[in-house]
Amino acid sequence: EEPLTAPGLCSYIAASCGGALGRVFLTHPVVPGHRTSNSSHLSVISEGVDESTPSFYAVPSIHPVSLFPEPPRIEHLEPADSQQQPVEWWRAMVRSSRVATGQAMSGNSLTKVPDEAVLGQGSYGLVWRAIDSTTGQLYAVKNITTRKRGAASVATRECDICDAIRLKPHPCIVRLFLVTNFLDAELYVLVQEFCPGGDLKGCIKKARQASAPSYRPPPLAMRWLAQIFLGLEHMHLEMDTLLRDLKPENVVLSASGCAKLTDFGFGRFGVESSGCWSFGMPSGSPGYVSPEVLHRESYDSRADLYSFGVLAWVMLTGGVTIGSEPVPPMGRPRYGGDFQAHFNDYDLLGRCLRNPESYRARRCRSEVQDFVARLTCRRPLDRMRHEDIRKHPFWSTARDDFQAVQLPANRPPEVERWIREVQNP
């Protein structure tokens, strides 16, 4: 099966417009008669931080490229190793396949991703590092196989959310470029912004290891929390969209150290939901999903803000002290799909806040305790909204944290303004 492409200037128009208008410019590039599906959608994942990296926020250097590159063509992308070089054996294999079949790109070839290019693997597929053979631009490519039950729905939802984000971009949400659906391989391929700084989970884990048995948050923790909130606020208030799966793994760091939201497979258009489960299960991750979502009650943007409160607690305390992973307190399922085991996760977190020593947690500052507690109440009506979060003393008491950090010169203007307000109340 052959992906649709758009020749010349049409490629930019198709990538910029999306939807029905964008698809007008798509054509079959090589072999007529092959059925394909392609949309101009967009999304991003990141490369894990090298274990030898001494800093929590240092990232490897990357090839100098333009700030806003032209959308790539799928046939120009090749797997790249950790040195950002094309994997030669894969390149030779694809060239041989193209000569034999006459096709510019086969979906099956993209299912054979070299181990040296793989960045991570999830429930529905994997993410790999790619380089554009014509420009040297690096991308992260997300493979979503539709053979697995429910994967097609997740892929479609992510594409739709990504299209909306492209129309209303934000510096604290990943840049998104292209999606191709290879019917021959039952594979969606999402071409995404490459964020070489890793994800927050990796940064928190490094901080735990570096300061054990105590815990010292990463130096940029407060700034990252500010950026996460700004990205969420944009999705809620400007896009009328829910993320519904906020956790450290779904926040990645750009080359400049900016925290960006990613992974929109559980996203939802409209910030008010009746509570029905979109995918036959709660939208979110254990420990981070709000109680009203678990109970199939109606919910709104405060479900995302609940997850933000949990993430803030894990970031600033390192999570529960048992085990090596930075995770929040959570119930133990008795079997697969035992969602009721998490009904009282909010209460476990409350106990960790009030009496951390008795619940294998670390004590936090009173401002942090109040901030997290007011975001993770059982009743959504009791939680803070966006304006309440902005005004909370949690940010003003973090003034020294902001001043101690050397911020990158190209930080987003929204973050610049907010930090200025925090430092000069």
In a domain, 351, yes or no: yes
pLDDT band at 371 (very low <50, low <70, confident <90, very high): very high
pLDDT band at 41 (very low <50, low <70, confident <90, very high): very low
> Which of 74-78, 299-303, 325-329 is least confident?
74-78
Let me know if 358 is exposed, middle or buried by CB neighbors in 10 A (0-12, 13-18, 19+).
exposed
Q: What is the pLDDT of residue 424?
A: 52
Q: Residue 155 has which token pair? A: 């892929």
Which sequence positions are flagged as catalytic? 245
What is the pLDDT of the chain when averaged over all its residues?
Answer: 79
Indicate which CATH number applies to the domain containing 215: 1.10.510.10
- Give the chain's domain count: 2
Domain match, 99 and 244 both = no
Domain match, 291 and 376 both = yes
Strand pairing class (176-182; 187-193): antiparallel
In a domain, 175, yes or no: yes
Domain match, 124 and 251 both = no
Three-state SS string over 98-155 comes to HHHHCCCCCHHHHCCCCHHHEEEECCCEEEEEEEECCCCCEEEEEEEECCCCCHHHHH
Task: Cite the annotated binding site for ATP by residue number.
Answer: 142
Q: What is the pLDDT of residue 63?
A: 36
The residue behind tokens 């991703």 is 113
Question: Is the pLDDT score of 219 beyond 60?
Answer: yes
Indicate which CATH number applies to the domain containing 32: 3.30.200.20
The tens digit of pLDDT for each residue in 268-308 reads 999 999 888 877 788 889 999 999 999 999 999 999 999 99
pLDDT band at 412 (very low <50, low <70, confident <90, very high): low
In a domain, 241, yes or no: yes
Q: What is the pLDDT of residue 159?
A: 81
The tens digit of pLDDT for each residue in 116-165 reads 999 888 767 789 999 999 999 999 999 988 877 777 777 788 888 888 88
| Identity at 80, one-letter amino acid code | A
In a domain, 408, yes or no: yes
Strand pairing class (241-242; 118-121): unpaired
242 φ, ψ (degrees, to nearest 5): -105, 145
Which pTM value belongs to this model?
0.76
Question: Is the pLDDT score of 42 beyond 50?
Answer: no
Which one of 193, 220, 248 terminates a domain?
193
In a domain, 44, yes or no: yes
More confident residue, 257 or 24: 257
Domain match, 220 and 345 both = yes
The parent domain of residue 312 ranges over: 200-423
Task: Cite the annotated binding site by residue number.
Answer: 142
Q: What is the pLDDT of residue 133?
A: 92
Domain match, 185 and 205 both = no
Domain match, 328 and 230 both = yes
The tens digit of pLDDT for each residue in 160-217 reads 888 888 888 899 999 888 888 888 888 888 898 999 999 999 999 999 999 888 999 9
